Amino acid sequence: MTPTGHLDTEACYRAVKSRDRRFDGVFYTAVRTTGIYCRPSCPARTPASANVSFHPTAASAQSAGYRACKRCLPDATPGSPEWDVAADVAGRAMRLIADGLVDREGVGGLAERVGYTPRHLGRLLSQELGAAPLALARARRAQTARVLIETTDLPLTDVAFAAGFASVRQFNETVREVYDASPSQLRGRGRSRAVATARPSGAVTMRLAVRTPFAGRRLLDFLAFHVVPGVEVAEPGTYARTLDLPHGPGTVRLHLADLPAGGGTGFVVAEFWLHDLRDTAAASERVRRLLDADCDPTAVDAQLGADPLIGDLVRATPGLRVPGQVDGAETAVRTVIGQQVSVAGARTVAGRIVASHGRAVDSPVAGLTHLFPDAAALAGVDPASLPMPRARGRALVALATALADGSVVLDRGPDRGDVRRALLALPGIGPWTADYVAMRALGHPDVFLPTDLAIKRVLADLGGSVDSDPERWRPWRSYALMHLWNTLMPDTPALARPVNPGEQGELTCGP
C-alpha cells in the first residue's frame, strides 16, 4: 500500500513476478488479455506489466468485468491483514459484510453499524476497495457458494440459500458470471479434489484458509485453558463449542494442528452442525475470527523475532495467533466474570451462569449442552443472585444492559476508540478490561497490558520490564503479549491438573 492507502503498482507487480504467497488475499491481479483475475502466487505464466491491473478485493475485480481464475482459485484465500491493523471504516465494513450483515439487514443496516449514511459508505468503499457494499456482499456469497459446491454433497438448492442468495436464479446467474461455469460444472470439477462432505441435519465440513505458519496446537492450548462447561469442549487435537447464530443455534468442531511455513495458505478443518443452513457464511466467518485467520504471521514474526528480549520466544513458536471470538458480547461478559479470580475459578462461575441462564441446545458433540447466555438474558438478572461478589455482579449486569440496548457494540463495526470509551464509562470496567476486550473481541493487534502481573513476572524473568519500551513492538503488541503468556500455558493433555490461581492484576482472563 502507498501512504494514501492505495495499491503500489510496481510493488504489486514485483510480488506477482516472484509468486509471493504472502500477498494472497492482500490484492488481486487482473489480466486484460484473458479477462481473468488471479492471486499473486498463481502458477500461470506472469503476464506483461502493461496487461495487468491490481485490485484490493475480489469484488473490485469482478465489478471491473473479470472472472476468477480456475487454476489458482483467487477467492479461496485469507482476508487482508490490513483490515485489522488499520481498523478503518472499510476494514470494519468488510468484517460485517463477511458475517452476512448485508444479506440480513441490507446496506442500510451496514451503514448504521459503521456510523455513515448508505450513500457515503458506498462512495467510501468504492474508493477504498473498488466495489460498493452490494458488490462486496455478492462476492462473498459467490465465494461461499463455490466452496460448498466443490467440497460438499449439499443439493445445489441448499447451497444457494446457505451461501446467502435470495433465489436459485440469482445463485445460478452469479456463479456463471463470476466463475464462467454453471454450479453443476463446478461440482463436477470439484469431485476430484473433494475436501469436505455434508451430512444430514445441517452438517457441513469445510476447510478454512489461514496464512502459515500457524501455531494451531498453542491456540488449542489457550482455548482449552479457558473452556466454559456446557459451551466448550477441548480434547487433544480438537476444540468444539456451541454457536449463537442469526437464524438459530449451531455447533463447530475444529481440528487444530501446527501448519509450518512454506505453503503460504494452509487450512483448518471445521465441522459445522447448523440449525439453519443460511448461517453457513456467518458461522465460518466467526470461526475464522476465533482462529485469527487473516493474521500475517510472516510480518509479525519478522518484527518480533528480531527483538532482543522476546525474539527467542517468537522463533520457538512461529505463527502464534491472538485467539479471537465468535461473539464479542460473550467475550466481554466472560472477561468481567474472570476479574480477580483464578482461571479455574472463572471457568466454574461461568459454567454456573451458563447452566442457570443459557439456552439449552442439542449438539452432536458430547459435553455441549447450552448456548452462552445472551446480553438481554443477563441484563434482567438480579446481581445478588450471581455466584460472585456483589460489586462484580452489578458490573456484569451493567455491561449486559449496555450490550443489550446497543450502548456498547462489539461486532467489529464501531470505531475501536469509541468502544473503549463506552466500556470505561461502565461501573467496574477499567483499562485492563477494556483493552483485553479490544484484543480478543475487536481483533486489535496492538494492545499492551502494563498492569498485568503475569506479564510483569515473565518480563522480569527475561531480564526486562514493562518499562522496556514496548512501543518497539508496534503494531503487533497483542502478539508480543501472547508470546509472553505462552510461556505460562499448560499443554492441552495437562488440563485435568488443578490450575494455580492467576495473578492478572485487575483480571485473570489471560493465561
**CATH (domain of 53):** 3.40.10.10
Specify if 222 maps to a domain.
Answer: yes
- Among 100-109, 153-162, 331-340, the minimum mean pLDDT is found in 153-162
What is the per-residue pLDDT for 502?
A: 32
Specify if 316 maps to a domain.
Answer: no
pLDDT digits (tens, 9 = 90+) for 337-374: 998 888 999 999 999 999 999 999 999 999 999 999 99
Query: Helix, strand or coil for residue 268?
Result: strand
What is the per-residue pLDDT for 195?
A: 46
Instruction: Report how far residue 258's alpha carbon sits from residue 39's, in angstroms, rounded to the nearest whole number.
Output: 24
**CATH (domain of 468):** 1.10.340.30
**Same domain for 54 and 180?**
no
Q: Is the pLDDT of residue 506 over 60?
A: no
93 φ, ψ (degrees, to nearest 5):
-65, -40
Q: Is the pLDDT of residue 386 over 50?
A: yes
**Same domain for 332 and 423?**
yes
Query: Helix, strand or coil for residue 397?
Result: helix
150 φ, ψ (degrees, to nearest 5):
-85, -20
Instruction: Report how far residue 151's alpha carbon sits from residue 206's, in angstroms, rounded to the nearest whole number.
Output: 7
**Same domain for 462 and 385?**
yes
pLDDT, mean of residues 173-178: 93
**Same domain for 253 and 166?**
no
pLDDT, mean of residues 214-240: 96
pLDDT, mean of residues 485-506: 54
What is the per-residue pLDDT for 470?
A: 80
**Same domain for 375 and 474?**
yes
Q: Which of 131, 32, 24 is nearest to 80 (CA)?
A: 24
Given the residues 38, 42, 69, 509, the one annotated as active site: 38
**Does the annotation count 38 as an active-site position?**
yes
Check whether the bond before 133 is cis (ω within 30° of 0): no
What is the per-residue pLDDT for 23?
A: 85
What is the per-residue pLDDT for 468?
A: 66
Specify if 501 maps to a domain.
Answer: no
- Most confident region among 74-83, 159-168, 200-209, 500-509 by mean pLDDT: 159-168
Instruction: Report how far residue 97's alpha carbon sits from residue 113's, in angstroms, rounded to the nearest whole number.
Output: 11
Specify if 504 maps to a domain.
Answer: no
What lies within 8 Å, CB to CB, of 86 at 6+ separation is: 5
Give me 356's grid cell: 442457570
How many domains, in total, are found in the chain? 4
Q: Give yes or no for a contact between 385 and 397, defined as CB atoms under 8 angstroms apart.
A: no
Specify if 385 maps to a domain.
Answer: yes
What is the per-residue pLDDT for 190?
A: 58
Q: Give the DSSP H or E segment for 203.
A: strand 203-211
What is the overall mean pLDDT for the chain?
88
What is the per-residue pLDDT for 148?
A: 87
Q: Give the DSSP H or E segment for 157.
A: helix 156-162
pLDDT digits (tens, 9 = 90+) for 253-268: 999 999 998 767 899 9
Given the residues 294, 301, 446, 452, the one annotated as active site: 452
Q: Is the pLDDT of residue 508 over 50?
A: no
What is the per-residue pLDDT for 315?
A: 96
Specify if 322 maps to a domain.
Answer: no
**Same domain for 262 and 333?**
no
Specify if 376 maps to a domain.
Answer: yes
**Same domain for 183 and 202?**
no
Specify if 212 maps to a domain.
Answer: yes
**Same domain for 162 and 254?**
no
pLDDT, mean of residues 123-149: 91
Q: Give yes or no for a contact between 383 and 390, defined as CB atoms under 8 angstroms apart.
A: yes
**CATH (domain of 208):** 3.30.310.20
**Same domain for 203 and 173?**
no
Q: Is the pLDDT of residue 509 over 50?
A: no
pLDDT, mean of residues 86-108: 88
Residue 133, domain extent: 82-151+153-193
**Same domain for 120 and 227?**
no
**Same domain for 132 and 230?**
no
**CATH (domain of 169):** 1.10.10.60
**Same domain for 98 and 223?**
no
Considering 68, 96, 117, which residue would you say is the last residue of a domain? 68
